[in-house]
Amino acid sequence: MLNAKDTVDSLDQTVAMTLSTHLRSVADHAHLTATDAARSAGVSVHDERELPGFASIEALFSLVWGLPPREPPIPAELLRSISHAGCNVTAAYDSHGTLTGAAVAIVSPGDTSMYSLIAGVLPGTADRGVGFALKLHQRAWGLARGIPTMTWTFDPLVSRNARFNLTKLGAHAGEYEQDFYGPMHGAINANDDSDRLIAVWPLARQRSVDCSEARAEQPELPIFPVESVRSLGPDGDPAVIDDAGVWWCRVPEDIVRLRAQNPTLAAEWRRSIRSVFTELFAAGYVASGVTRSGWYRFVSGGQA
């Protein structure tokens, strides 16, 4: 006769086997969707393992982040070590053999999560789907190893990236880190505070599966009465909306350009967004999507 401990152990084993079977099934599907995404983007995506490839990735990242060649965000020798340690260095090449994008991720202790360090695509190719192909390859890589989650940081003011992360991929964010990296340089960051959101991407969740098949839900800002406006942005237009418990917050259309043209106004946006996001997160809300016009949607944590 089984005692209580044996029964619990048996249930734990059953749950673990069920989860493992589910992850294997999702992993097989993830490989197919990653292959389809690469084909649609016109690239070949693979795990980079050769030193010349790492050197090309270093140069690409320097170009993307507007840094001098001798000050790359991540050097080739470190990329080689990350790959050699069994972590992920993903590269995308077009039909001419030109590197068009790369992404790098390490694995947390216990293989419970992947942490994406950096990802970027060749300037001028952002609309081809190369970034999507890179992330789906990383997703398939993680699921094939039984890793259920990926996390990374991103600037909440860069609406294009935010929409890609939260709407296109199906990640969510419920944590705001002020000046996460300290002072940063280069054309992209322009000496702005390095505030970041923490993206959490449950790789096997149904929403992520739908997104991998290009069936992502597209959030749409509702038509709102004036009494739903909770605050204005630094530009004087409505920026925070409460629509029956679903909150919406607007960020600038192009913060990179605004930093270059009007750094004072850009800094005002940083302070404003920092205040709104930290208050909403503290109240239990989660950012679950971004509209094409740069409005974040916040829902209660259980709905993310």
Q: pLDDT tens-digit profile of 200-231?
A: 999 999 999 999 999 988 999 999 999 999 99
**What global pTM score does this model have?**
0.89
CA–CA distance, 201 with 132 (Å, rounded to integer): 14
Least confident segment among 50-54, 123-127, 219-223, 283-287? 123-127
- The maximal CA–CA distance of the chain, rounded, in angstroms, is 76
pLDDT at position 151, please? 98
What residue has token string 């693979």? 46
Distances (CA, A) of 244 to 222, 227, 241, 270: 11, 12, 10, 26
Ordered alpha helix ranges (H), the chain: 4-41, 51-64, 76-84, 130-144, 159-163, 206-212, 255-261, 263-282
- Residue 212: both structure tokens together: 């991998």
Residue 134, SS3 per DSSP: helix
The amino acid present at 101, given as its one-letter code, is G
Residues near 171 by beta carbon (within 8 Å), at least 6 away in sequence = 150, 165, 199, 200, 201
Do the Cβ atoms of 138 and 152 come closer than 8 Å? no
pLDDT at position 22, please? 65
CA–CA distance, 67 with 270 (Å, rounded to integer): 23
Using pLDDT thresholds of 50, 70 and 90, give the confidence band for residue 142. very high
Average pLDDT over the chain reads 91
Q: Is the pLDDT of residue 114 over 50?
A: yes
∠ at Cα 217 (91, 128), nearest 5°?
30
Domains of the chain: 7-144 (3.40.630.30), 148-303 (no CATH)
pLDDT at position 18, please? 55
pLDDT at position 41, please? 96
Q: For the range 233-241, what are the long-range contacts, defined as Cβ-Cβ under 8 Å and sequence gap of 24 or more?
A: 233/269, 233/272, 234/265, 234/268, 234/269, 234/272, 235/265, 239/272, 239/276, 240/276, 241/295
